[in-house]
């Protein structure tokens, strides 16, 4: 069996399965047409595309134990992603990678872990959640907080419900329930509003607010993915509960093109996201996401 293609050369992958998540989000499961599937770590991404159209960076959302195919959850927002979301079983797409720094799950061992996602941000977290559940004895409490615009925009809803059967504290909130208002069983509001109730209870005390005045959370590691404003608001909320920035990891999304740290399109301050990320700690990130148009 041949080796995977070098990182700067696209490989051909065939779509094995396709499922709609929402009206504009679909998950593709794809495997190399020839050769073996390279291993990946949760949080890494591929450059996936359509020959002659282009390619985009998409996180690998399948469990690492799946050594036959990668899963990609994609929102149709541009020319390439619209074509990808419209792919059918049997179609061939191009794939490079995997690339980037992964989630540091070892840093969370022995303590509580919180996964906090906004919208499709649950996709880059899914492999990490699966890895933690597969090694449940190495962690204490597992918390999954998910926010979405409406109930119809919640990605992986059946999977999230299944996690509740795995002794995982899953909490979902939407900005507006719309026509589902009378039967929506979860919260309404921003995902940051779930943090105090879920994460704050880890220490067994009720925080009274403020990084110094509140109850410190004992050994909690948080993993965040979502819009920049949501992630920074969550960082500030976690800090107010006593969570140090070194214990907060985020995955960043920028305009990646080469994916190997040479073109500079994904630069954010002193970081090249494809090389130095996409996963960074809040300490490494500093205030970069608060600087307008950086």
The residue-averaged pLDDT of 116-144 equals 96
* Model pLDDT, residue 56: 96
The answer to whether the peptide bond before residue 98 is cis (omega within 30 degrees of 0) is yes
pLDDT tens, position by position, 200-256: 754 444 344 444 444 444 589 999 999 999 999 999 999 988 899 999 999 998 888
Using DSSP's 3-state secondary structure scheme, residue 266 falls into coil
pLDDT at res. 249: 97
Contact 239, 254 (CB under 8 A): no
Q: Which of 224, 230, 226 is nearest to 282 (CA)?
A: 224
Specify the DSSP element, H or E, that contains 83. helix 79-85
Task: Check: CB of residue 12 under 8 Å from CB of residue 32.
Answer: yes
Q: What is the mean pLDDT of the chain?
A: 89
Mean pLDDT of 271-288: 92
Q: Is the dihedral of CA 74, 12, 63, 272 positive or negative?
A: negative
Q: Under a CB-based contact definition with an 8 Å cutoff, are residues 253 and 57 in contact?
A: yes
- Helix, strand or coil for residue 13? strand
Which SS3 state, helix, strand or coil, does residue 4 take?
coil
pLDDT in tens, 106-127: 999 999 999 999 999 999 999 9
Judge contact between 125 and 117, C-beta under 8 A. Answer: yes
* Percentage of residues in the chain having pLDDT higher than 70: 89
pLDDT of 179 over the 80 cut = no
Tokens 């036959």, residue located: 68
196 touches 222 (CB < 8 A):
no
Q: How many CA atoms lie within 13 A of 13 on its CB side?
A: 32
As a whole-number percent, the residues of the chain with pLDDT over 90 amount to: 72
Res 290: pLDDT: 79
The number of angstroms, rounded, from the C-alpha of 194 to the middle of its chain's C-alpha atoms is 18
Going along 179-229, which residue ranges are E strands?
A: 187-188, 220-225
Closest CA to 91 of 48, 62, 59: 48
Query: What is the SS3 assignment for 97?
Result: strand
pLDDT at residue 253 in the model: 86
pLDDT confidence of residue 8: 75
For residue 272, pLDDT over 70 is answered with yes
Residue 3's pLDDT band (cuts 50, 70, 90): low
Phi, psi of 195 (to 5 degrees): -65, -50
The predicted pLDDT at position 255 comes to: 84
Q: Which helix (H) or strand (E) covers residue 230, if one does?
A: helix 228-240
Query: For residue range 26-78, what is the model confidence (pLDDT) as tens digits?
Result: 999 999 999 889 999 999 999 999 999 999 999 999 999 988 999 999 999 99
**Confidence at 294, pLDDT banded by 50, 70, 90:** low
H or E segment to which residue 115 belongs: strand 112-118
Q: Which residue ranges form the domains of the chain, and what is each CATH number?
A: 11-99 (2.40.30.10), 105-290 (3.40.50.80)
């Amino acid at each position: 069996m041949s080796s995977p293609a070098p990182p700067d050369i696209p490989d051909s992958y065939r779509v094995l399965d396709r499922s709609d998540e929402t009206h504009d989000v679909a998950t593709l499961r794809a495997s190399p047409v020839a050769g073996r599937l390279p291993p990946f770590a949760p949080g890494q991404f591929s450059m996936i595309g359509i020959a002659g159209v282009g390619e985009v960076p998409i996180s690998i959302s399948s469990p690492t134990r799946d050594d036959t195919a990668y899963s990609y959850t994609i929102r149709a927002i541009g020319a390439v992603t619209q074509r990808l979301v419209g792919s059918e079983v049997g179609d061939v797409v191009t794939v490079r990678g995997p690339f980037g720094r992964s989630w540091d799950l070892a840093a969370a061992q022995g303590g509580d872990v919180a996964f906090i996602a906004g919208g499709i941000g649950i996709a880059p977290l899914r492999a990490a959640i699966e890895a933690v559940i597969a090694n449940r004895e190495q962690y204490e409490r597992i918390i999954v907080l998910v926010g979405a615009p409406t109930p119809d925009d919640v990605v992986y809803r059946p999977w999230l419900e299944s996690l509740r059967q795995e002794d995982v504290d899953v909490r979902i909130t939407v900005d507006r329930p719309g026509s589902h208002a009378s039967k929506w069983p979860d919260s309404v509001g921003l995902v940051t509003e779930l943090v105090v109730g879920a994460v704050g209870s880890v220490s067994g005390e009720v925080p009274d607010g403020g990084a110094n005045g509140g109850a410190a959370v004992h050994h909690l590691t948080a993993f965040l993915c979502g819009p920049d404003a949501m992630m920074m608001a969550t960082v500030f909320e976690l800090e107010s509960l006593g969570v140090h920035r070194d214990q907060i990891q985020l995955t960043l999304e920028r305009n990646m093109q080469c994916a190997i740290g040479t073109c500079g399109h994904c630069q954010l301050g002193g970081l090249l996201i494809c090389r130095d990320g996409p996963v960074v700690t809040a300490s490494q990130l500093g205030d970069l996401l608060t600087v307008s148009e950086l």
